[in-house]
Amino acid sequence: MDIISVKNDENWNNWKWQIKNRILTIQELSKIIDLDDAEKEALKSNLLLPLAITPYYASLLDKKDTKQPLRKTVIPRVEENICSAGENKDPLDEDRYSPVPGIIHRYPDRVLFLVTNFCSTFCRYCTRSRIISKEEIYKNHWVSAIKYIKSNSSIRDVLISGGDPLTLSDTKLDWLLGELRNIPHIEFIRIGTKVPVVLPMRITDNLIRVLKRYHPLWITIHFTHPEEITPETSKACNALADAGIPLGSQTVLLKDVNDDVEILKNLFHKLLTIRVRPYYLYQCDPILGSSHFRTPIATGLNIISKLRGFTTGYAVPNYVIDAPGGGGKVLLLPKSILGKKDGYFMFKNYKGEVYRYPDF
């Protein structure tokens, strides 16, 4: 595949064509990328998560630079075959919190609804690599999952995820959202997706019409690096925002990809310009073969400390660990509380200066 010539093809902006023509093999990838020995070795090995990249996202990859951040996130490395201490194929213990197929019920008032195990592009650090692309999983489970949600009146919030829900057809999304919206105790619905980043042409006028029917609807988009914010991605996000859909972002902190305050500040600033609010910065989950992606927690804390106060608060996400073993999200903050003295609460500001507040 010649990416340059294909981009001029009339089918380039057809999202179904993009999925049909995903890059899935070392032979296809070698035609557009100069692979190094480590990449070749990985692609020839028995990977837990296979290769999959949309032509659009492949067009953002540097042909020669193996250190390019985007390239590291979608092209396998041999390190994926090294399993380190503390890693697990299901690090968040989601299967234990699944009362029926497709439902993860960890928190009291909300559920995660895994509606598909298909993604258009496979991120190498994917938390659910154990199920992505495994066709036998989550077939024909929607009815029982919706029945479970209907029978639990404490559930007020449904997060639709997967896989990537926006790879479903408009007809299926319309049916699914309609079924959820008709449940009286569901107050709002969220969708988690990376489609606007890896498949922005999926955000069609008809999809927008479908989504607008089911307000209040929120969408969280997975962004990794400033290079992902292209004219195509910007157009997709602005179209969603114009439809009245609040947009947030979630970013995974990745070693040698985005573990730098200037890179993340640039990303978060660019997100605000396309009306996406940086919401979460995740510590990378300890999936099998992820040690080369994970940073020390001190790295994340240092980044947050250099963002807070040095840029607008809207550009500072919550830094969290999704606690291994199913403990849920835990907020991590740089130390600012110094204690209490003589009736005053002592704390540091973003510059490290000490202040006190009367707390008698």
Choose one of 78, 109, 124: the last residue of a domain: 78
138 and 60, same structural domain? Answer: no
Is 128 catalytic? The answer is yes
254, 299 in Cβ contact below 8 A?
no
Examine residue 338 and state whether it is found in any structural domain, yes or no.
no
196 and 260, same structural domain? Answer: yes
Is 44 catalytic? The answer is no
Taking each helix axis from N to C end, the angle separating 205-212 and 231-242, rounded to the nearest 10 degrees, works out to 30
Examine residue 119 and state whether it is found in any structural domain, yes or no.
yes
Examine residue 354 and state whether it is found in any structural domain, yes or no.
no
Say which of 138, 285, 294, 319 is annotated catalytic. 285
148 and 259, same structural domain? Answer: yes
Examine residue 357 and state whether it is found in any structural domain, yes or no.
no
Q: How many Cα atoms occupy the beta-carbon half-sphere of 188 within 13 Å?
A: 10
Is 284 catalytic? The answer is no
Say which of 71, 110, 190, 294 is annotated catalytic. 110
Taking residues 117-134, report their average pLDDT.
90
Is 126 catalytic? The answer is yes
Say which of 123, 148, 214, 237 is annotated catalytic. 123
pLDDT of residue 133: 67
Q: Whole domain around residue 56: which residue ranges?
A: 3-78
100 and 74, same structural domain? Answer: no
54 and 140, same structural domain? Answer: no
At 295, list the tokens: 């940073």
Q: Tokens 């959820």 belong to which residue? A: 180
262 and 117, same structural domain? Answer: yes
Is the pLDDT confidence value at 139 over 70? no
Global pTM exceeds 0.85: yes
Is 237 catalytic? The answer is no
At 193-220, the pLDDT tens digits run 999 999 999 999 999 999 999 999 999 9
98 and 73, same structural domain? Answer: no
Choose one of 27, 54, 78: the last residue of a domain: 78
pLDDT of residue 360: 80
Choose one of 53, 78, 103: the last residue of a domain: 78
d(CA 178, CA 180): 5
Examine residue 35 and state whether it is found in any structural domain, yes or no.
yes
Examine residue 355 and state whether it is found in any structural domain, yes or no.
no
At 33, list the tokens: 């990328």
Q: Which of 137, 148, 135, 166 is nearest to 104 (CA)?
A: 148
255 and 214, same structural domain? Answer: yes
Q: Tokens 């490395």 belong to which residue? A: 77
Q: Dump strand ranges (E) for 245-341.
A: 247-253, 277-283, 318-323, 328-331, 337-341
Total number of domains constituting the chain: 2
Is 356 catalytic? The answer is no
70 and 126, same structural domain? Answer: no
Is 97 catalytic? The answer is no
pLDDT of residue 10: 80
Say which of 22, 77, 106, 265 is annotated catalytic. 106
Q: Which of 288, 168, 151, 159 is nearest to 217 (CA)?
A: 159
CATH number at residue 195: 3.20.20.70
Is the pLDDT confidence value at 227 over 80? yes
Number of H helices, E strands in the chain: 13, 12
Examine residue 353 and state whether it is found in any structural domain, yes or no.
no
Is 77 catalytic? The answer is no
Say which of 71, 72, 77, 128 is annotated catalytic. 128
Say which of 57, 72, 90, 119 is annotated catalytic. 119
254 and 214, same structural domain? Answer: yes
Say which of 57, 125, 126, 174 is annotated catalytic. 126
- Tell how far CA 264 is from the center of its chain: 15
49 and 24, same structural domain? Answer: yes
Say which of 89, 255, 329, 348 is annotated catalytic. 329
Is the pLDDT confidence value at 25 over 60? yes
Examine residue 342 and state whether it is found in any structural domain, yes or no.
no
CA angle 96, 99, 100 (to 5 degrees): 120
d(CA 128, CA 137): 12
Total Cβ atoms within 10 A of residue 126? 18
Say which of 62, 93, 107, 348 is annotated catalytic. 107
189 and 326, same structural domain? Answer: yes
At 297-334, the pLDDT tens digits run 999 999 999 999 999 999 999 999 999 999 999 999 98
